[in-house]
Chains A and B, each alone.
Chain A
């Protein structure tokens, strides 16, 4: 990871919260390198039948928009105002009390007033007023209304791709106005004229065709899982099998592809596989539904549905009874809040019952999909596995609540229960940086690309500073999380702000602590680090 092109941490931290003299309405965007993401490549737009595929970049003067782009966007806005109560209401009822203003990690990290959620919403609200409200039509600027110009469109692009849809602002808003909803609609509108970022549309295009973001083909997935089982055998002496596309299995297991593709997610994946093996679970993974994540969430509601459809389709084809989902943030936003509505009812599946403990997961009786942390916490609670937490004694853990499981689900205590049972040194971060007030990694919602590095480091700063605090206070050297995007974006964030802390998934902790039948003596953890020496992360 190269930070060569961005300012050093001691410069970046000097954030000023002074307001500029000039009104925000007349301040055009400056596409400064390091603060925005590359445009979606034409081939990916074509693969997804998205409009206006072409070669362009946001820094170009000419965005090569369709001739009637304003009409397209206004028609799209009208349609969405009639389809989403959230959108219309959030356009109408904001009183600009400013409670959200300094809750956004991008505002805290940049001091840019347009990163205050209230102003980010005003970017689109001003256009809404101009074309859809009587006072706005009559009084124009005086009523906070403005024309939809190219500068406004560019501003939308810059700031809607500078929002990670983390929903922290919505926790503080007295009316529950959720900037994520507004950003999602804003991005949909931009998509109508072909303005999107490659780090969203490429994974989406890959996922559509090959089943996963990384474009891994069936054989590749099999090979990767075999590498992981080789590693498990090397560390534990136990040979683990991973069933793939197995018809008639009881459970379908779906996890983000990053878990079996890239470090440090792979160690988390090893944790899952070891657990399933130890429990003798009758499960299968799928090469077709080989992705838990859903970058459709960062593109449009329609794309969420298109990509999510595979989960139920594959569960039906394989004839499983229910589904377990791995550690992932936005995947769980989709599964918890969209999947059943979009692609249900899953009446061909059964209400999930853990074959290990007999626990019936009533909370998932309609979707038939259980979070791996719910599943594992139940297994531990019922004493079905043996754990040796001292094998994690070289680690001093803190836990990062990922935005989506936190604020779109409320999954707080299940992962903590697993952590508390698998390690001896767990330290919480400050109260205003965890649970529902957790800070984003700064690179969710498709912004975790390298060209956007400065903005990622800025947006992730509040999270990093809270980690730094526990690092200094308690010697924390490992940041645990339950999100694959986190596992990709937090390592560089830590490298930049708190270099002595590395990142892991919760099921990696479990994999370390799990005492397996027939295992060899385990002098190292899953990463090969000696476990007796404390202090080596």
Chain B
């Protein structure tokens, strides 16, 4: 949809950041309590609602897309993961999709070269997509340290590993850098590649810009305009016990950060970000190619009008007889 969508997305993000800034300045308690609780409630309820809604829709047919050799004769090497014939295979296939983005790894780029289409390997989207999601997961887990006291050793270990280069004070987290760079890559790709820009909608730019805002404010308040993390933790543990006390002097940037996170959480269940839940339910991937061995049941298998042999013979009986073909009724 071109440049227009981009402009609208930027206007949206700038308004949102301004709103976050204004709220942080004049009514930080609003972001820290009402908006925060509302966002989390909408996120969890919305996410679960959407997933249950999908899960309740039947899967009438077993329609896996098979990406390698089927299991047939004993001496032919079947591929248990790319063309699973049982539950283990399906599990491994789903794991490879969800953890390693297997299918995206196949990506290629089609170009015309000397009047011939050629297909170059193109792993950039796979790489940055994977880095983006993995670093996001690490960051989310690291953030749990604000909510849990004492901080579990696993989280401390993860944080130590994440900051192993010990650059700067406080140390720069590797995941922060990777997350921001890959989010910017994903945004730039969408905005700069004409084909991607053509298929992109406003709702494709906004979550990326939101995420970049979250990451940006996060990094800024960790390294430049530092906020008081002890007070943040006090606030965060307060959320869990529903104490509405707002510690004084956390720092404005924190409220902008929090506001952007809330906006993302609110956005999530209403949008394509639900691919997080949906990827588990995709019938072309999470079913075994075993239809000829085990019957799949369609709960609404509706009756249809077929053309019976009797009707057929009634129409063609004389012709069948003259052709010397056997008939049921003389």
Contact surface of A with B, Cβ cutoff 8 Å: 10, 13-15, 17-21, 23-25, 49, 81-86, 88-89, 92-99, 101-103, 108, 113, 116, 118-119, 122, 134-135, 142-144, 167, 170-178, 181, 208-211, 217-219, 222-223, 244-247, 287-288, 301-302, 305-306, 309-310, 313-314, 317, 335-338, 340-342, 344-345, 359, 361-367, 369, 371, 374, 377-378, 381, 406-414, 417, 432, 435-437, 461-462, 465, 468-469
Which chain A residues lie closer than 8 Å to B107 at the CB level?
A: 99, 172
Q: Which residue of A lies closest to B200 (CB)?
A: A96
- For the residues of B in contact with A, the DSSP-based class is loop
Seen from chain B, the residues whose Cβ lies within 8 Å of a Cβ on chain A are 1-2, 4, 8, 50, 54-55, 57-63, 65-73, 75-79, 82-83, 85, 97, 101, 103-104, 106-110, 112, 115-117, 119, 125, 129, 193-204, 270-272, 274-275, 278-279, 281-285, 289, 291-298, 300-302, 304-309, 312-313, 315-316, 319-320, 322-326
Given contacts A82-B57, A144-B203, A413-B77, contact A176 B306 (CB under 8 A): no
A208 touches B307 (CB 8 A): yes
Residue pair B195, A19 in contact (C-beta under 8 Å): yes
A288 contact from B197, B202, B312, Cβ within 8 A = B312
Contacts of A134 in B (CB 8 A): 270
User: Within the complex, what minimum Cβ distance (angstroms) separates B44 from chain A?
Assistant: 18
Is the beta-carbon distance between B65 and A172 smaller than 8 angstroms? Answer: no
SS class, residues of chain A in contact with chain B: helix
Q: How far is the CA of A88 from the CA of B57 in the complex (A)?
A: 8
Which 4 residue pairs spanning A and B have beta carbons closest together? A410-B70, A219-B323, A93-B278, A410-B66
Report chain A residues within 8 Å CB of B293.
362-366
User: Is there contact, CB below 8 Å, between B204 and A93?
Assistant: no
- Nearest neighbor of B84 in chain A, beta-carbon distance: A410
Q: Are A142 and B8 in contact (CB under 8 A)?
A: yes
In the complex, what distance in Å separates the CA atom of A467 from the CA atom of B168?
A: 58
A83 engages B101 (CB within 8 Å): no
CB atoms of B307 and A177 under 8 A apart: no
Contact partner, A410, options B83, B203, B204, B308, Cβ 8 Å? B83
**Quick check: B323 and A222 within 8 Å, CB to CB?**
yes
Most buried by B among A83, A344, A371, A437: A83
Tell me if A175 and B289 are in contact (CB < 8 A).
Answer: no
In the assembled complex, the CB of B67 is this many whole angstroms from the nearest CB of chain A, namely 4
Q: Are A412 and B69 in contact (CB under 8 A)?
A: yes
Once the chains are docked, how many angstroms separate the CA of A18 from the CA of B292?
44
> Does A86 lie within 8 Å of B119, measured CB to CB?
no
- With A336-B291, A345-B295 known, 15 other A-B pairs at CB within 8 A are A49-B305, A92-B272, A96-B201, A99-B125, A113-B199, A116-B199, A143-B203, A144-B202, A176-B103, A222-B325, A288-B312, A341-B61, A341-B298, A377-B76, A410-B79
Q: Which of A118, A211, A371, A374 contacts B199 (CB 8 A)?
A: A118
CA separation between A312 and B80, bound complex, in Å? 30
Measured in the bound complex, the distance between the Cα atoms of B298 and A367 in whole Å is 15
Chain B residues closer than 8 Å to A25, beta-carbon distance: 1
How long is the Cα–Cα vector from A362 to B275 in the complex, in angstroms? Answer: 36
- Residue of B85, B104, B199, B204 near A174 (CB, 8 A) is B104
Are the C-beta atoms of A218 and B323 separated by less than 8 Å?
Answer: yes
A19 proximity list for chain B (CB < 8 A)? 194-195, 197-198
Residue of B nearest to A208 (CB): B307
Residues of B close to A378: CB separation below 8 A: 73
Residue of A101, A134, A223 contacting most chain B CB atoms (<10 Å): A101
Are A341 and B297 in contact (CB-based, < 8 A)? Answer: yes
Given A313-B308, A313-B309, CB of A86 within 8 Å of CB of B283: yes
Q: How far, in angstroms, from A82 to B306 measured CA to CA in the complex?
A: 25
Chain B residues with CB under 8 A of A417: 76
User: B91 to nearest A CB, angstroms?
Assistant: 15
Q: Do A340 and B296 touch (CB < 8 A)?
A: yes
Nearest to A377 among chain B residues (CB) is B73
- How far does the alpha carbon of A171 sit from the alpha carbon of B107 in the complex, in Å? 9
B292 touching A369 by the CB < 8 A rule? yes
The answer to whether A97 and B76 have CB atoms under 8 Å apart is no
